Chains A and B, each alone.
Chain A
Amino acid sequence: MRRLRALWIRLCHGLNWKRRDEDFAAELESHLQMHIDDNLHSGMSLEQARRDALIKLGGMEQVKQAHRERSMLPFWENLGREMRLAFRTLRKSPGFSAAIMVTLVLGIGMTTAMFTLVYSTLLRDLPYPGADRIVRILDVRVSGQSTGMLVGMPRFFDVRERSKSFEHLGFFFFGHETLNADKHLPLVLRTAATDADFWNVFE
């Protein structure tokens, strides 16, 4: 709990470090003044008193640095510095930066597109109940003339007759029809024909 509290305070102090720094500078200044006063009392010259106080303190900047490191997370401070450096470097060589950005954008974009495609076609189940049990049957010939994977109607009825593994079996095929509606121009329709059991497959 103690540690957590300290961590929280250090995190927050990344935000108003300037005021903190000034506060600590004032504290150090008062420290030195008191030490110099004491030294003067014990008979040192002003010059000597000041030098001794500084030496005993252990270096103004070192102490400030140690204090700063403790007052916030060094990581926090470093992060800011690194970011500024990164931006400056990027601005200094715009061509290079642009090339990198384009590479990143293309890379991320393509990866996303690929994944979307793979996900929707290969990974995602069909949006029907028991989607993992829905299969499509194709006719693939080892020898003889190919049927272009299409199952002929007689074969379909044979399969349906003898099947024990399927709950429902339906067929469908696509076609083009022409729609002539009284005085309108004829329309080409893309159609699909199925039998009644087809719909039971998706329930």
Chain B
Amino acid sequence: MADKADIWLGTLSLMILKTLEMMGPLHGYGIARRIEQTSGNELSLNYGTVYPALLKLEQEGAIASEWGVSDNNRKAKFYELTRAGKKLLEHETRSWEQTTNILERFLRPAREA
């Protein structure tokens, strides 16, 4: 069970990094919203789960946070990719693609033959 949660946390981090790359600085709510929309609402995401993931990324130095004001004038904490975060995103994207490629080959061996 711990394994499953870890994998989920890992993919969530990747989604967060990608979202921040595409949208620029964004608050936790916006990130959760965006991830849900991007997944075509196929992910049922508890918005709360992005926060531990955000914290983890911040601790690792991949993102930085700062209090600011949102579009509709609410105080909100904004997260932004750091340079290390960009590098991490590239690396994680590559390794994720590799993983899915390998799995693809396993799951559809007929195509190869």
Contact = CB atoms under 8 A, between A and B. Distances in A.
B51 interface: yes
Contact of A57 (B30, B47, B84): B47
B60 A2 contact: yes
Interface stretch (B17-25, B71-79, B94-102, B105-113): B71-79
A26 B74 CA distance: 12
A58 B52 CA distance: 13
Contacts of A67: 51-52, 55
B56 A70 contact: yes
A26 B84 CA distance: 27
Highest count of chain B CB atoms <10 Å: which of A10, A26, A66: A66
Chain A interface, >50% SS class:
helix
Interface stretch (A30-38, A121-129, A141-149): A30-38
B40 interface: no
Contacts of A69: 52
B76 A2 contact: no
A28 B5 CA distance: 22
Interface of A: 2-3, 5-6, 9-10, 24, 26-28, 30-31, 33-35, 37-38, 56-59, 62-63, 66-67, 69-71
Interface of B: 27-30, 33, 46-49, 51-52, 55-56, 59-62, 70, 72, 74-77, 84, 88
Given A30-B75, A34-B76, A67-B55, 4 more contacts: A5-B60, A27-B28, A57-B48, A67-B52
